[in-house]
Amino acid sequence: MHWVLSLIGSDARPAVTPAVVDSAASALSAGDATVVEIRWLARGIAAEIVFVGERPSAGSAAQRATRYAAVDCVVQPAAGRRKHLLVADLESTIIAQECLEELAAYVGKRVEIAAITNRAMRGEIDFEGALRERVAMLGGLAETTLQEVYDHRVSLNPGAATLVATMRRHGATVALVSGGFTFFTERIRRALGCDYDQGNRLEIAAGRLTGSVAEPILGRAAKREALARLSAERGLAAADTMAVGDGANDLEMLRAAGLGVAYHAKPAVAEAAAARIDHGDLTALLYLQGYRQDEFVAA
């Protein structure tokens, strides 16, 4: 069977040098793998090595060979890498922030809420209960604060717009699924041109947040179910899908996708996912699919 080892760095730190690629190729050849081809996707940023051999031992050998470089290594089957559905977490994945924490700053509860968020994203506490507890602290906050946070505190992670634009240009469906709030998912969906969004709804009365979130709360199961539903609606097999996220509530979705990518994720999530990106930006998901940099669509 043919496999591909992707070596991915970042624009900010072009660490994928010829020496790094040669080291990875040598590590593959020193084991039970036969290197078939080396392809450059972006000089200094991304390359891939096609090989025949055993996936587990090959991946481990390549990681050992590149461990001192700021390079992400991912091994996957060579066939079927271009995906027709991308399901992406929103907060700390497509955008750089956790919106609930940004809202918390307006009520002087950022430290307390951030601590609960971190425990929930590491999988240490129940997501649904943690969300209710955090939202309760926002009771009385003016509804207009939501727009203020969106306008002044929310920013896309590097590569997000290019990722979405490129995949949609090539016919893929892109969905945002969040344990956060529809106020933000809807706006980011429109801004990026995504096809679908899903999130939780904050309850508002008389222009202020009540401190409650509408039931049912959408957490990890809802993300996996969205992936399954969107796949079925489009007649796609699991192998045709990709999911990306950073927290424990993304794990079921990542495991169900053809390629689940932990993006700058919490340690437990990164260790459990089939692929992890620790150094690259979101265009790494394009390189994983074999896109060359000159195929990217500028957003």
Residue 117 shares a structural domain with residue 231: yes
pTM over 0.85: yes
Whether residue 158 is found in the same domain as residue 70:
no
Task: List the domain range (segments joined by +) for residue 7.
Answer: 1-79
Q: Which amino acid is at 185?
A: T
- Model confidence over 85-138: pLDDT tens digits? 999 999 999 999 999 999 999 999 888 888 888 887 777 878 888 899 899 999
Asked whether residue 138 falls in the same domain as residue 27, the answer is no
- CA–CA dist 172, 170 (Å, integer): 6
Structurally, how many domains does the chain consist of?
Answer: 2
How far is CA 101 from its chain centroid? 19
Do 72 and 148 have their domain in common? no
Least confident of 23-27, 66-70, 232-236: 66-70
71 and 93 share one domain? no
Same domain for 110 and 252?
Answer: yes
* 55 half-sphere exposure, CB direction, 13 A CA radius: 12
Q: Is the same domain home to 129 and 171?
A: yes
pLDDT in tens, 220-260: 899 999 999 999 999 999 999 999 999 989 999 999 999 99
Read off the CATH number of the domain in which 143 is found. 3.40.50.1000
Residue 220 phi, psi (nearest 5): -65, -40
Check which CATH number belongs to the domain holding 1 and give it.
Answer: 3.30.70.1710
